[in-house]
Structure 1
Amino acid sequence: MSDDKKQTGASDRDRISLSEDYEIRDWTASLGVSEEELREAVDAVGNTADAVRAYLKKS
């Protein structure tokens, strides 16, 4: 995740950052999961959105 909020791009959009409240809110809404489920998925497979989606789909 880019520290500069003005510089976003594909690499920014396909990574899940759990250090920003707004990202947690946006990703939980987008994926339809709770914050706990999101954190569990990121812990299990890393912070790439595709890996998290695949993990959640299997769960």
Structure 2
Amino acid sequence: MSDDKTKPGGQDRTRINVNEDYELRDWSKKFNVSAEQLKAAVQAVGTSAAAVEQHLKQPSKG
């Protein structure tokens, strides 16, 4: 299902769509990370905002 911009809320608050420029910008700002870091986190754990946030809070390995 595509993103319905006329109906904010619901899934939009819990899922991250890195293919939408505004979502990439807003979520990157919220988590204080670059767009590339956000994309990598979504690739690693999926589109759940909670899972991405937890992933980004983990200390870096290496």
TM-score by length of 2: 0.85
Task: Report percent identity of matched pairs.
Answer: 53
- Give the root-mean-square deviation of aligned CA atoms: 1.5
Residue identity in the other structure for 2:36: E
How many aligned positions are there?
A: 59
Name which one, 1 or 2, has greater alpha-carbon Rg.
2
Task: Write out aligned runs for 1:1-59 (5 A).
Answer: 2-59=2-59
Q: Which has the higher helix share?
A: 1
Long gaps (5+) in structure 1: none
* Inter-partner Cα distance in structure 1 for 2:22 and 2:3: 14
Moved over 4 A (4+): none
TM-score by length of 1: 0.88
Long gaps (5+) in structure 2: none
